[in-house]
């Protein structure tokens, strides 16, 4: 296996403060709930594998520009910029109050899922256990989430506080005006599915329904990439690398028959008594060969 440096950093609090709603204040610490798993690559010169560095070069004359000569500018028209200095940014800075200020409570179902984008764990601070449990249990029983403002590194964010097992989580949110208008998307074309097709699809969904076991899902691409890197470290380029086969789905001729075939295959797989971890593949990919024959 690759060295632990590929596995992310130890969990550390990135923010400490309080949750505030009404007259209640709860001391909390904020921890990242996700870790980056991407492997880090460097650009190298092919002839001698010398690392390639980036340079700050002016477009006008191609000359190098030192950091001390660089300013920030906003392009308000093509080729026209207004310069913003550090004092300009300070004028619009939001006061870092170290408080998650709850503004209101809403039904989770009323919030567009696209607004949520980055989760954090919230850990109760010393002396805040009772109030923390009170907020957690109240959210669970009400079925609601808290909408709040929080300032992290001088940047104000919209956020939601949600119950998460025995703890609370804070999830950063996009502001609603950041989402693209769904009306820009083209509506799907074609006739509405027949009742028989809907019934077959429901049966297929039911036959493929299993308890949620998150440990069964993993990043197969990253795992394969790590294995290839390990092989190259051990053997160099001497070991041939086989290209992955790409499956191309065929054209669907008879939707009902394809659904029935998928349903039969799913039932057969279940009755086969396979134990342990299984890997499910999309029905369309498994039966593309039969559909091509039908075509």
pLDDT at 269: 73
Contact present, 283 and 266 (Cβ < 8 Å): yes
Residues 200 and 174 in one domain: no
Residues 98 and 224 in one domain: no
How many CA within 13 A on the CB side of residue 72?
6
Domain containing residue 167: CATH number: 2.40.290.10
Residues 260 and 161 in one domain: no
Residues 99 and 202 in one domain: no
Burial of 17 (0-12, 13-18, 19+ CB in 10 A): buried
- List per-block mean pLDDT (blocks of 10 residues) for the chain, which spans 295 residues: 52 89 89 79 89 89 92 92 86 72 95 95 94 96 96 88 96 94 86 88 89 89 86 78 63 64 76 50 44 42
Report how far residue 159's alpha carbon sits from residue 149's, in angstroms, rounded to the nearest whole number: 6
pLDDT at 115: 96
Pairing between strand 116-124 and 144-152? unpaired
Report how far residue 26's alpha carbon sits from residue 168's, in angstroms, rounded to the nearest whole number: 12
Contacts of 150 (CB under 8 A, 6+ apart): 15, 99, 100, 101, 156, 157, 159, 170
Residues 12 and 119 in one domain: yes
Residue 190 lies in a domain: no
Contact present, 19 and 98 (Cβ < 8 Å): no
Neighbours of 115 (CB within 10 A): 16
Beta strands in the chain (DSSP E): 15-21, 24-32, 72-77, 80-84, 99-107, 116-124, 144-152, 155-164, 167-173
Q: Which residues are paired to 75 by β-bridges? A: 81
Contacts of 22 (CB under 8 A, 6+ apart): none
pLDDT at 213: 93
Tokens of 112: 């567009």
DSSP track, 130-143 = HHHHHHHHHHHHHT
pLDDT at 82: 93
Residue 110 lies in a domain: yes
Residues 238 and 171 in one domain: no
- Residue 223's domain comprises 195-208+219-270+281-294
Residues 15 and 146 in one domain: yes
Residue 118 lies in a domain: yes
Residue 75 lies in a domain: no
Residue 67 lies in a domain: no
Model pTM score? 0.69
Contacts of 154 (CB under 8 A, 6+ apart): 93, 94, 96
Number of domains in the chain: 2
Residues 223 and 120 in one domain: no
pLDDT at 146: 97
Residue 84 lies in a domain: no
Residues 286 and 154 in one domain: no
Report how far residue 32's alpha carbon sits from residue 169's, in angstroms, rounded to the nearest whole number: 10
pLDDT at 135: 96
pLDDT at 263: 76
Residue 213 lies in a domain: no
Residue 58 lies in a domain: no
Residues 105 and 33 in one domain: yes
Largest CA distance in the chain: 72
């Amino acid at each position: 296996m690759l060295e632990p440096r590929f596995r992310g950093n130890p969990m550390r609090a990135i923010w400490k403060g309080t949750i505030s709603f009404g007259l209640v204040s709860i001391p909390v610490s904020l921890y990242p709930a996700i870790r980056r798993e991407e492997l880090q690559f460097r650009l190298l010169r092919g002839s001698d594998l010398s690392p390639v560095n980036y340079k700050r070069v002016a477009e006008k004359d191609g000359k190098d520009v030192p950091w001390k000569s660089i300013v920030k500018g906003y392009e308000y028209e093509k080729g026209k910029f207004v310069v913003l200095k550090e004092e300009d940014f300070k004028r619009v800075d939001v006061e870092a109050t170290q408080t998650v200020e709850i503004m209101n409570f809403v039904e989770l179902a009323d919030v567009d899922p696209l607004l949520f984008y980055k989760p954090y764990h919230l850990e109760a601070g010393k002396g805040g256990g009772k109030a923390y449990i009170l907020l957690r249990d109240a959210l669970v029983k009400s079925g609601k989430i808290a909408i709040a403002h929080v300032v992290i590194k001088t940047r104000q964010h919209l956020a939601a506080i949600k119950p998460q097992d025995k703890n609370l989580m804070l999830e950063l949110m996009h502001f609603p005006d950041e989402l693209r208008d769904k009306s820009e998307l083209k509506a799907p074309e074609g006739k509405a599915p027949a009742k028989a097709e809907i019934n077959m699809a429901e049966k297929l969904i039911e036959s493929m329904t299993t308890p949620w076991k998150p440990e069964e899902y993993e990043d197969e691409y990253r795992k394969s990439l790590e294995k290839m890197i390990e092989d190259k470290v051990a053997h160099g380029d001497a070991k041939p690398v086989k290209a992955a086969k790409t499956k191309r789905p065929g054209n669907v001729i008879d939707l009902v028959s394809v659904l029935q075939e998928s349903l039969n295959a799913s039932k057969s797989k279940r009755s086969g008594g396979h134990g342990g971890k299984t890997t499910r593949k999309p029905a369309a990919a498994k039966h593309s060969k039969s559909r091509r024959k039908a075509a």
